[in-house]
Amino acid sequence: MLMEVLTKRKPTDEEICNGNLDLREWITLSFSGSMMDVVDVNLFCEEEQVTYKSEICVASMIELGLDCTMEMAESRVTMKEVVKRLNKIKNAFLET
């Protein structure tokens, strides 16, 4: 769900499905050096500057989403690890 929110794409999105990809594969294949290439452009207000810190935050959340959706269940992160990583992302973003 995290990947859907950040990309504003559904797993059944025509662009993704027509390429015979799932959302996870589409994200992995679509970005070219920056996770911001797959993030919904409306995630940030027009007047809001996309900072290095916000890019790192979004990239960390996308990475977490990818880690949660690994093909092999035993390769996925635990919910305990998810909570820990989300708190770490939040704290890093809120640091001044």
Secondary structure, 3-state, the chain: CHHHHHHCCCCCCHHHHHCCCCHHHHHHHHCCCCHHHCCCHHHCCCCCCCCHHHHHHHHHHHHHHHHHCCCCHHHCCCHHHHHHHHHHHHHHHHCC
Q: Which domain holds residue 56?
A: 2-94
Q: Give yes or no for residue 96 having a pLDDT over 60.
A: no
User: pLDDT tens across 16-75, in order?
Assistant: 877 788 888 888 887 666 667 788 877 777 767 778 888 888 889 988 999 999 999 999
User: Which residue type is seen at 12?
Assistant: T
Region 77-91 average pLDDT: 95
Instruction: Return the number of other C-beta atoms located less than 10 Å from residue 47's C-beta.
Output: 5
CA gap 81, 95 in Å, rounded: 21
Q: How many separate domains does the chain show?
A: 1
pLDDT at position 31, please? 67
Region 65-90 average pLDDT: 94
CA gap 56, 51 in Å, rounded: 9
